[in-house]
Chains A and B, each alone.
Chain A
Amino acid sequence: MEIFSNLQTGLSTALQFDNLLFCFVGVALGTVVGMLPGIGALSTISMLLPITFYMEPTTAIIMLAGVFYGAQYGGSTASILLNIPGTATNAVTCLDGYPMAKNGRAGVALGITTIVSFLGGSFSIIVLMFLAPVIADLALSFAAPEYFAVILFGLIAASTMSSGSVLKGLAMVCVGIVFGLVGLDLNTGVPRFQFGFVELSDGMSIVALAMGLFGVAEILANLLHADGSPFKVQDVTLKSLFPNKQEVKDSTAPTIRGMIIGCVCGILPGTGATIASFLAYATEKRLSKHPEKFGTGIVEGIAAPEAANNASVQSAFIPTLALGIPGDAVMAVMLGALMIHGIAPGPGLVRQHPDLFWGLVMSFWIGNVMLLALNLPLIGMFVRILRIPYDALYIAMLLFICLGVFSIRNNIFDIFLVIAFGVVGLGMILGKYPAAPLLLGFLLGPMLEENMRRALLVSRGDFLIFFRSPVSSIFVIMSLVVLGLGLIKPILNLVKRWRGQAA
Chain B
Amino acid sequence: MIRSNWTWSETFGGLVVALFGLGVCLEALHYPLGHLTRMGPGFLPIVVGVMVVLLGLSIAFGKEKSVEIKPRNLRAPVFVFASLLAWALLLKPAGLVIATMALVVIAAFAHPKPNPKRVLITLVVLPVMSTIVFVYGLGLPIRPFAFL
Query: Which residues of A approach B to under 8 Å, CB–CB?
Result: 54, 165, 167-168, 170-171, 174-175, 177-178, 181, 185, 187-188, 190, 192-193, 216, 219-220, 223-228, 389-392, 394-396, 398-399, 401-403, 406-407, 410, 412, 415-416, 418-419, 422-423, 426-427, 429-433, 445, 448-449, 452-453, 456-457, 460-461, 463, 490, 493-494, 497
Contact = CB atoms under 8 A, between A and B. Distances in A.
Given A171-B56, A406-B140, A178 B24 contact: yes
Chain A interface, >50% SS class: helix
7 contacts: A188-B41, A190-B32, A395-B122, A399-B126, A406-B91, A432-B67, A452-B44
A185 B28 CA distance: 12
Contacts of A188: 32, 40-41
B48 interface: yes
B55 interface: yes
Chain B interface, >50% SS class: helix
A460 B64 contact: no
A427 B77 CA distance: 11
Nearest to A212: B84
Nearest to A227: B112
A395 B103 contact: yes
Contact of B52 (A171, A412, A448): A171
B119 interface: yes
A427 B8 CA distance: 9
A389 B111 CA distance: 11
A456 to B, nearest CB: 6
B73 A403 contact: no
Interface of B: 1, 8, 10, 13, 16-17, 20-21, 24, 27-28, 31-32, 35-41, 44-45, 48-49, 51-52, 55-56, 58-59, 61-64, 67, 69, 71-74, 76-77, 80-81, 83-85, 87-88, 91-92, 100, 103-104, 107-108, 110-115, 118-119, 121-122, 126, 130, 134, 138, 140-142
Contact of A391 (B56, B100, B111): B111
Given A391-B115, A419-B85, A165 B64 contact: yes
B37 A457 contact: yes
Nearest to B71: A224
Contacts of B81: 419, 422-423
Given A178-B24, A395-B119, 18 more contacts: A167-B62, A171-B17, A171-B59, A175-B20, A181-B44, A185-B31, A224-B71, A226-B76, A391-B111, A395-B122, A396-B122, A398-B107, A410-B141, A419-B81, A453-B39, A456-B37, A456-B39, A457-B37
Given A391-B115, A399-B100, A430 B71 contact: yes
B7 to A, nearest CB: 9
A431 B9 CA distance: 8
B10 A431 contact: yes
